Structure 1
Amino acid sequence: MTRGRALTMVLPGDLLTATGGYEYDRRMLDGLRQLGWSSSVVSLDPGFPTPTPRALEDAAELISALPANSLVVIDGLALGAMPDVVHAHKDRLRMVGLVHHPLAAETGLAPELANRLFGSERRALQAMCSVVVTSQRTRAALADYDVAPDRISVIEPGTDQPVTESRDCDEQPSGTDAPVRMLCVATITARKGHELLIEALTELTDLNWTLTCVGSLERSPATVRALRARIAAAGLEDRVVLMGEIDEAGLKSQFRAADLFVLATCYEGYGMAIAQALVHGLPIISTRTGAIEELVGPDAGALIEPGDRTALRDALSRVLSDADLRRRFADGARVAGAKVPDWGMACEKMAEVLTCVSCARPDASGAM
C-alpha cells in the first residue's frame, strides 16, 4: 500500500456534478483515501472556465490560504482559466494539473474565446510541477501547449465491472419485435452531438428503436431547447427520452437494459461512458475522437468521423437492422471491456505520480 500523504483538490462547483470529469475526480479521491491518503476539496465558483473577476479574486484567496508546500491537484476546468493565480504560487505550492481535455477544444466556442482559453491554459500549465491527463490523445494535444513530455503522466479512468453480465429479467423484453434500445450517456451540450444523432435517426423511423439519453439538462439550456425542438419537429417524442441526471444505481440499470450504446460526440479526451458501455458488453456507435478508437477497436462497434451525419445514419441503419451484427459487436465489446483498467489500478498510478511530486526537492530558487 502506498504510504499515506495529504493532498488538496481544487475544482469549480460541486464535486458531485454528474459528468465524466467530476466522476474521475471523485473516484480518484475515494481511491487515494483507501490507499491511506488524506484529502480535502476546495470548491471554486461554478462559472469556470469563464469566471468573473470576483470569482478569480475568490480563487486567489482560497489558494493563498493553503499552507506552503501543500500538494495541490487542480482540475483543468479551473486551472486553464486562472494562470495569474497559479503562477503566484508556483514556488510555494506543489501543484499538479489534471487535464481531461484542453479547454479550447470545447465545441461551439467563439474563435476569440477559444484563442483566449488556449493562451490562458498554456500559461497556467507552465506553473505545474506535473500534469496528469486521461488519455494518450490528450497527452499528444498538450504538445501545442509547450508541456514537456516528461512532465505528463497518462492515467486513464477506471471502470466498474458489472456484478453480472446478464441483464435483469424485468429489463429484458421478450419477442423479436421488441425495439432496439439505444442508450446515450452524456451531458447535453453542443460537443456531445445529440442534435446530430437525432438528425440521423429522423431518417430511420422505419426501423424499430428507442433512445434514452442520460445526462444533465442544466449545463447548456440553449442546446437542450434546440434538441427538444428537433425531437418534436421529427415526431420522435414517443421514441426519445431525455432522462436528465440519475443516480449510480439508475445508471447501472440503464446500461443493463440497453442493446446498443450511441455517442455522436465531436471531441472527447477519453470517453468514460464508452468504456463503461464496453464492460457491460454493449455494441458501440460513436466517433473517432480522443481515446474512443483505441477503446472500441473494429470488433466492438462502428465508428464514424465527428460531425458526419450521413456516415452516422448509415452506421445506425446497419447496426439497428442486423441482430447478428449486434451480437458480434457485443462479443467484441466484452473482449474490449475486459482490457479496460479498473479504478483501483488507476488510483495506484495516481498515487505514484503524487508521491513523486510530494517527495521532489526544491531547487536553489525554491521551485520544485
Structure 2
Amino acid sequence: MTDPAQIDVIAPNFKRRLSGVTSTVIRLVPLQARNIAIATTGPALPAEMPQIPPSKLLLMSRRGPSGARVWHARRNIEMLAGLALKHLLRKRLRLVFTSASQRNHTGLTKWLIRRMDAVIATSEKTAKYLERPATVIRHGIDTDGFCPADDKPALRRDLGLPETGPIIGCYGRIRAQKGTDAFVDAMLRVLPDHPDATAIVMGRATEKHQGFEQGLKTRVAQAGMSDRLLFLPEVPVWEMARWYQALDLYIAPQRWEGFGLTPLEAMACAVPVIATRVGAFDELVIDGETGALIDAGDVAQMAHATDAILRDPPRLEQWSRSALRRVRDHFRIEQEAAAITAIYRDLLARG
C-alpha cells in the first residue's frame, strides 16, 4: 500500500465489478505513476497498483507534498466523496471529473459538476452535454499490448478457432443496449453466403440479461449456425488482446455507448471496424478508410457492410493497415495519460 503523505493525485475507483471506468483507472494509473505521484483507492483493485486503502483517506494529512492534492473522480459517488473530504474533513483538494456519458445529466450530477475545479470529456459529443467548459481527452490504447499477431494461424489454433477463413468478432456485455441481437441477426444473414467465415460473440450476460442471451443462442441453433456463430465466455482483461488479434473484422453494434473502447482495441490489432454512430465511434472510425459507420440497430446496413468487405479482401487489407496507423498516430494510451497529467500539474501549481 502507498503512503498518502507521498501522493499528489488520488484517482478513486469505488466499484467492485469490472466496468469501462474501472478498466480506464487500471490502465492509466500505473502509467501515470511513472511521471507523477498518483495512487488509486477503492475495493477489488489489482494488488500491483499504487493504492491507498479507503480507510486511510479519513486520516491522511490535509496537504499533499505539493500543497493541495488532486482528486480525480469518474462517477457521482466519487465526486461526492471528494466534496466530503474537502469540505467536511478540510482536506486541501483540487477536484477533477471525467465525463463519458452522452445524455442530459440529472440535477444532482449537474450540481456536482459545477463544483469541480476541472472537467474532462472523453469526446466532443460528451462535451456538448456539459454545461461548463471541458477539456476533450479521448481514451487511448496500450499499443504494446494491443498489436497485430505475429502468426495469426498459430494464434487461432491455440485459441481453438478455425485457422483459415475470415473471423468476425463482437465483444463485451451481452444485452440489447450493446446491440448483440443486431450482430447475431446480421451474421445469420451474412454467414450462409460466406461458408468459410466464422462469427464470435464473446462476453458475459448479467443475470438480468441471461434470458436475452439464451434467446439469441436458440435463434442461432434454429438457423443451424451454432458451429459457425460461436458464443464464448468472457475472458480476463489481460487475455483480450489475443482474441482481437485472431479477428479479420470487428463489429461494434451498440445502440447506446458512452465512449466505447472496443473499436480502438480492435484497430490497434490491425482489425478494421464496422461501428454504429453512437458514443465516440464516429470520432474513432473513419468511414471507408479504417472501417464503416452504420446506423444503430440497422441490421440490413450491418449485414450489407459486412458482406461487401468480405467480398473485397484487398480493401479489407487496406482498412487493416489504415486502422493500425490511425490508433498508433492518435490514440496511444501514453497520449491520454500525458494530457490528463498536464491537467493535474496545472491544478497542483495553484497550490
Confirm or deny that 1:242 pairs with 2:231: yes
Could you tell me the TM-score, scaled by structure 2's length?
0.78
Distance 2:266 2:308 in 1: 19
For the 8 Å contact 1:201–1:313, the answer to whether it is kept is: yes
SS at match of 1:331: helix
For the 8 Å contact 1:19–1:186, the answer to whether it is kept is: no
Distance 1:177 1:244 in 2: 20
Q: How does 1:183-222 map to 2 (within 5 A)?
A: 183-206=169-192, 207-208=194-195, 209-217=197-205, 220-222=206-208
User: Which of these residues, 88, 104, 111, is aligned with residue 123 of structure 1?
Assistant: 111
Confirm or deny that 1:156 pairs with 2:138: yes
Counterpart position of 2:260: 271
- The number of equivalent residue pairs is 316
Deviation at 1:273, TM superposition (A): 1.5
Distance 1:346 1:284 in 2: 21
Q: How does 1:80-95 map to 2 (within 5 A)?
A: 88=84, 91=87, 92=90, 93-95=93-95
For the 8 Å contact 1:193–1:265, the answer to whether it is kept is: yes
Distance 2:269 2:82 in 1: 40
User: Which of these residues, 249, 252, 261, is aligned with residue 260 of structure 1?
Assistant: 249
Residue ranges of structure 2 left out of the alignment (5+ in a row): 1-5, 45-53, 63-67
Distance 1:313 1:169 in 2: 26
Q: How does 1:19-168 map to 2 (within 5 A)?
A: 19-43=19-43, 68=62, 69-76=68-75, 78-79=77-78, 88=84, 91=87, 92=90, 93-102=93-102, 105=103, 118-142=106-130, 146=131, 148-149=132-133, 152-161=134-143, 162=146, 166-168=150-152
**Residue 37 to residue 318, structure 1, CA distance change in 2 (3 Å):** same
Counterpart position of 1:366: none
Deviation at 1:301, TM superposition (A): 1.0
Deviation at 1:167, TM superposition (A): 3.4
Residue ranges of structure 1 left out of the alignment (5+ in a row): 45-58, 106-114, 362-368
Distance 1:177 1:359 in 2: 55
Deviation at 1:287, TM superposition (A): 0.9
SS at match of 2:33: helix
Q: For residue 347 of structure 1, what is the amino acid of its counterpart?
A: A
For the 8 Å contact 1:8–1:42, the answer to whether it is kept is: no
CA RMSD of aligned residues (A): 3.0
Distance 1:177 1:12 in 2: 42
Range with bigger deviation, 279-288 or 177-186: 177-186
Q: CA-to-partner distance for each residue in 1:56-100, whole Å, 9 max, x for gaps? A: xxx9x99766654542111226457x5xx6655565432211222
Structure 1 vs Structure 2: percent identity of aligned residues? 18
Deviation at 1:297, TM superposition (A): 0.6
Distance 1:327 1:38 in 2: 41
Counterpart position of 1:56: none
Counterpart position of 2:303: 313
User: Which of these residues, 335, 339, 343, is aligned with residue 325 of structure 2?
Assistant: 335
Could you tell me the TM-score, scaled by structure 1's length?
0.75
**Residue 321 to residue 222, structure 1, CA distance change in 2 (3 Å):** farther
For the 8 Å contact 1:7–1:38, the answer to whether it is kept is: yes
Distance 1:123 1:210 in 2: 49
Counterpart position of 2:14: 12
Distance 1:347 1:324 in 2: 35
**Residue 190 to residue 119, structure 1, CA distance change in 2 (3 Å):** farther
